[in-house]
Structure 1
Amino acid sequence: MTVQDVINHLHDLAPLAYAEDFDNVGLLVGDKTQTVSGILVTLDTLETVIDEAITTNCNFIVSFHPIIFKGLKKLTGKTYVERVVIKAIKNNIAIFSIHTALDNSIAGVNAIICNQLGLKNKAILIPQSATIKKLQTYVPKAYAQNLRLALFKAGAGSLGNYESCSFNTEGEGTYKGNEASNPVIGKKGEFHTEIEIAISITYQKHLEENVLHTLFETHPYEEVAYEISTLDNTNQNIGMGMIGELENSMSELECLQFIKSKMNTECLRHTSLLNKPIKKVAVLGGSGSFAISAAKAKGADLLVTADLKYHDFFSAENDIVLADIGHYESEQFTKTFLVDYLSKKITNFAIILSKTNTNPVKYL
């Protein structure tokens, strides 16, 4: 089992293509070809976590947050980030971060919060744009079925609960190869007309490399004619935050106490109570002030998130209850989820849950 083998499993769960542009996800330290002796899963990679990895003989750390977020110009050990990177390199420990790729996964951070709160009828709160692409290509009629099946196998043509979806139109294709050409059908230097099928098929953007590789490997023509476009269609399976419903309505105070207990937080800050029952709940792990307007627009009675600033609370405008449960607290169950996921995928050695509490915030 190499570092890349583990990364492949994580990519199946949360493709890095859907991480936010500002983020720094993926393999941050180490060699992807290195053989893995053990995997340590953590929320943050601190020096104490590196020490834990050394003690437990883990040479690969899967971290939710990236230890390297901004560019490093020096490695002198002056900051905690530099010290972590230096110690990891010295001890041949690879570090991988999944962060907003998992935030945007339908099975990720926000689904974990929803499950912790027992929410039903879950849906993405803020769907990510530009995640669906369309391929159109032109292929001789006799080869069309073979190409379609190959593209389906590569993951193209899946829409919601349906698969093997495509649209096909028949027409005439024309071409004339020069002296350097080697046409599969027709002769070089001669104008040729061929009955072709135009195949239109959609795919999720993280599959593009595989889809195009399949197209070029399967298509019979020497020069493959194809077009790729990015669609504005909403992808309900990728995006920030989630919204769902409680099994039964609760009073506001009852709901806040329930959230505090279920999310294991010592401190919960909230806006004024509106004397309305809570049924529909929006959640966004980590810093989520940007989700307030989306939560209100989708009729949420309450938004569970973190890192709200003073003026963010005014944004509720008596339309919604905002509950700030703390950044660490909103994401704390993520590492257990990752351990469970990897343990099911990799059964030949233990995936270790870090015992280090990396929460930098303390309460009196």
Structure 2
Amino acid sequence: MKQQIMMNDVFKIIEDLAPKSLAYEWDNVGLQIGSANKPVKKIMITLDVLERVVDEAIEKDVNLIIAHHPLLFKPLKQVNYDSPSGRILQKLIKYDITVYAAHTNLDVASGGVNDTLCSVLDLQSRRVLLDEKAKKLLKLAIYVPNTHEEQVREAISEAGAGHIGEYSHCTFKTQGQGTFKPLDGTNPFIGTKGKLEYVDEVKLETIVPEGILSAVLKEMEKAHPYEEVAYDIFPLENEGDRIGIGRIGELDRTMTLEEFCKMIKVKLEVSQLRVTGDLSKPVKTVAVLGGSGEKYIHQAKKKGADVYITGDMTFHTAQDAWQMGLAVIDPGHYMEKVMKQSVKAYLEEKLHDVNIILSNTNTDPFQFI
């Protein structure tokens, strides 16, 4: 029998990848329209929620749309069914389709849009282009019987706990003895109701980034044998990995700017792009920021980038980059479409009983003639 997956279950999984706390203050992420308390039938992932995308969802019997760009940015003053936005809302309500958006939080998140762009372009040694803050770290201490120590360690580590630098499964254990007395209404894994029990246990300690705590606790409880798991959570002063917008990394070999442009067209599946700079210039260090990133040209130059890939470059900003010797490649804002496949792959790892599809609707407004 398939497990019933609720909308809110999917939202929590997305927020493990891209916590809402990472979103910029001006952004509107999370539930856009619909209900978090309904079963999920079919999920469709899209970059934008346009009317044609909603029509596609209706045709394919989708009841949850996950988008990168929010459907609702500003407070509504009216819902006019004769306008494009009004028709979209009308159809979503009529066909009971929920929409959820992960926008700047997915841009900033590790494994989000910008990391996906780095992976598509085969950039190595990637780091954050513009640091915003460090991840908040917590210490998790779990009390577990000796018999299940390895099982619990593996479960929390696979959920993302215990990662320090390039090392995983980092824990520390202390041997001890736990006591408990099962009361009426319990079904103890060990012991007898009404009798004090003594159990050889270990205290298993590890580090957990705050944003994935709920996912780690969920896996801990699944792996732990006790009905009621004893654990402690402590805030830490240690700084976690730096998080922020954009990424910078290295190509596996130096190539000319022209060669790199040709590679980008293939990798990002774009027929045209705009470029500034000497096409014979050698490039090795690449900065990338999905969407509109023209205001970060100085950060890209300061971090040592030979070339900066972003969308929506304007004339004078492109001139400024050109004058400072920073090549700029603009494949268009629509390059963020890479998030569709990466989010689908991520959800498929977490959800095994839900049909997840990609929208086939092209929402890029530009054509090149």
Counterpart for residue 292 of structure 2: 287
Counterpart for residue 112 of structure 1: 116
Higher normalized strand content (fraction of residues): 2
Answer yes or no: is 1:331 the counterpart of 2:342.
Answer: no
Counterpart for residue 140 of structure 1: none
Counterpart for residue 185 of structure 2: none
Note the C-alpha offset of 1:165: 7.6
Question: Given residue 326 of structure 1, which amino acid in structure 2 is its aligned partner?
Answer: G
Q: RMSD over aligned Cα, in angstroms? A: 3.5
The counterpart of 2:103, out of the listed 99, 113, 124, is 99
User: C-alpha deviations, 1:172-206, integer Å up to 9, x for none?
Assistant: xxxxxxxxxxxxxxxxxxxxxxxxxxxxx976443
Residues 118 and 288 in structure 2, CA contact (< 8 A), matched pair in contact too = yes
User: C-alpha deviations, 1:35-74, integer Å up to 9, x for none?
Assistant: 1111111111111211111111111111111110111122
SS in structure 1 at match of 2:250: strand
User: C-alpha deviations, 1:9-54, integer Å up to 9, x for none?
Assistant: 2122222221222211111111111111111111111112111111
Gaps of at least 5 residues in structure 1 are 136-143, 167-200, 212-216
Answer yes or no: is 1:42 the counterpart of 2:62.
Answer: no
Distance change >3 Å, CA 53–CA 130, structure 1 → 2: same
Answer yes or no: is 1:235 the counterpart of 2:251.
Answer: no
Answer yes or no: is 1:15 the counterpart of 2:8.
Answer: no
Gaps of at least 5 residues in structure 2 are 173-205, 217-228
The counterpart of 1:254, out of the listed 259, 274, 295, is 259
Q: Which moved more, 1:36-45 or 1:334-343?
A: 334-343
Answer yes or no: is 1:347 the counterpart of 2:352.
Answer: yes
Note the C-alpha offset of 1:163: 6.7
Question: Given residue 293 of structure 1, which amino acid in structure 2 is its aligned partner?
Answer: H
Distance 1:2 1:75 in 2: 28
Residues 129 and 234 in structure 1, CA contact (< 8 A), matched pair in contact too = no
Distance change >3 Å, CA 159–CA 31, structure 1 → 2: same
Answer yes or no: is 1:51 the counterpart of 2:55.
Answer: yes
Note the C-alpha offset of 1:291: 2.3
Q: Which moved more, 1:308-317 or 1:22-31?
A: 308-317
Distance 2:214 2:14 in 1: 18
Residues 41 and 355 in structure 2, CA contact (< 8 A), matched pair in contact too = no
Residues 256 and 279 in structure 2, CA contact (< 8 A), matched pair in contact too = no
Residues 36 and 59 in structure 1, CA contact (< 8 A), matched pair in contact too = yes
Residues 159 and 165 in structure 1, CA contact (< 8 A), matched pair in contact too = no
Counterpart for residue 363 of structure 1: 368
TM-score, scaled to structure 2: 0.74
Counterpart for residue 263 of structure 1: 268
The counterpart of 1:245, out of the listed 241, 250, 260, is 250
Distance change >3 Å, CA 164–CA 342, structure 1 → 2: closer
Distance 2:67 2:339 in 1: 10
SS in structure 1 at match of 2:287: strand
Distance 2:78 2:208 in 1: 41
SS in structure 1 at match of 2:284: strand
Answer yes or no: is 1:276 the counterpart of 2:277.
Answer: no
Note the C-alpha offset of 1:336: 1.9
Distance 2:261 2:135 in 1: 35
Distance 2:119 2:162 in 1: 30
Note the C-alpha offset of 1:303: 0.6
Counterpart for residue 3 of structure 1: 7
Residues 138 and 210 in structure 2, CA contact (< 8 A), matched pair in contact too = no
Distance change >3 Å, CA 206–CA 118, structure 1 → 2: closer
The 5 A counterparts of 1:9-158 are: 9-129=13-133, 131-132=135-136
Q: Which moved more, 1:154-163 or 1:80-89?
A: 154-163
Distance change >3 Å, CA 205–CA 74, structure 1 → 2: farther
Note the C-alpha offset of 1:207: 5.6
Distance 1:230 1:71 in 2: 38
State percent identity of aligned pairs. 37
User: C-alpha deviations, 1:128-154, integer Å up to 9, x for none?
Assistant: 21542678xxxxxxxx9869x99xx79
Distance 2:66 2:277 in 1: 39
Note the C-alpha offset of 1:327: 0.4
Residues 106 and 239 in structure 1, CA contact (< 8 A), matched pair in contact too = no
Distance 1:354 1:227 in 2: 42
